[in-house]
Amino acid sequence: MIIAEQPQDEMACRLGADLEGSFEGMMAVYQDRLFAFALRLSGNPQDAEEIVQDAFVRSYRALSGYPAERIAGLALRPWLYKITLNVFRNRARRKIPPVDSLDAWAEDGIRPEPSAPEGDRPDAEAARAEQRRELGAYVAALPGRYRAAVVLRHVAGLPYAEIAAVLGQAEGTAKSNVHRGIQQLRRSMPAQDSIER
């Protein structure tokens, strides 16, 4: 089922009017985006899942304590990204060791290979996966202030005003951090003639 995104203010108004009935719909709209954001920050799908789950739990607890007028006035998207970022930062400070899902291992102890989409050549899919992995590693190596800004802008697609709200900084600082992060990525990545810029 595909959930169409509603304008933020409309969704916030619905949450203010009926938190219990509207929270699941809000989760359906934002779970994939927050997961992609958390995945880029953490580099681990299992950690990203836990981060997003924790972020939704924290957001629900916070909303439960807010009056309806405050909920209706929330800038919902940057508020959710900020909670997700804070959960990631808290986990990073605690240095939780990485966990590998037991479901990912076959009965014979061999991890199954991910299947390529039908009609895709395996070598082309492998090359794309390798490029994504390498880019993810370069992004993960960025200093935290640049990494969060770059991921919010180029993965989550947030406008600079919302990035500034998520990161708690001026819009000019957010723009600067995105720009500096991209510049640092360009300097750290090897030149690749085959990739168009």
Interval 73-130: pLDDT, tens? 889 999 999 999 999 999 888 765 555 454 444 444 555 555 544 445 677 777 777 7
pLDDT value of position 7: 59
Count CB atoms within 10 A of the CB of residue 126: 13
Q: Report d(CA 84, CA 37) in Å as an integer.
A: 8
Domain finish residue from 48, 69, 101 = 101
How deeply is 110 buried, as exposed, middle or buried, from its count of CB atoms within 10 A (0-12, 13-18, 19+)?
Answer: exposed
- Mean pLDDT, rounded, for 156-164: 89
* CATH number of the domain where residue 36 is located: 1.10.1740.10
Q: What is the DSSP string of 23-86?
A: HHHHHHHHHHHHHHHHHHHHS-HHHHHHHHHHHHHHHHHHHHHS-HHHHHT--HHHHHHHHHHH
Q: How far, in Å, are 100, 125, 184 from residue 194 at the CA level?
A: 34, 16, 20
**173 vs 167: CA distance, rounded Å:** 10
Q: Would 178 be classed as within a structural domain? A: yes
Structure confidence at residue 189 (pLDDT): 80
Q: How many CB atoms lie within 10 A of CB 70?
A: 13
> Which residues have a Cβ under 8 Å from the Cβ of 143 and sit 6 or more positions away?
184
What digits encode the pLDDT tens for the residues 9-64?
788 888 888 888 899 999 999 999 999 999 988 888 999 999 999 999 999 999 99
**Count of alpha carbons within 13 angstroms of residue 162, beta-carbon side:** 18
What is the rounded distance in angstroms from the CA atom of residue 22 to the CA atom of residue 182? Answer: 37
What pLDDT sits at residue 183?
Answer: 92
| pLDDT score of 172 more than 50 | yes
Question: 97 and 2 share a domain?
Answer: yes
| Residue numbers of the domain that contains 186 | 121-190
Q: Which pLDDT belongs to residue 126?
A: 72
> Given a cut of 50, is residue 197 above it in pLDDT?
no
Residue 114 lies in a domain: no
pLDDT at position 118:
47
CA 7, 9, 14 angle in degrees (round to 5)? 95
Per-residue pLDDT averaged across 131-154, rounded? 85
Residue 85 located in a structural domain:
yes
Residues 14 and 96 in one domain: yes
Asked if residue 129 and residue 93 are part of one domain, the reply reads no
In a domain, 107, yes or no: no
- Asked if 77 and 34 sit in the same domain, the reply is yes
The per-residue pLDDT for 54 is: 95
85 and 177 inside one domain: no
pLDDT of residue 121: 67
**Which CATH number does the domain housing residue 125 bear?**
1.10.10.10
Q: What is the pLDDT of residue 10?
A: 87
Show the CA angle centred on residue 81, arms to residues 80 and 86, nearest 5°: 100
pLDDT greater at residue 182 or residue 95: 182
Q: What is the mean pLDDT of residues 146-151?
A: 90
- Looking at the structure of the chain, the number of domains it has is 2
Residue 54 lies in a domain: yes
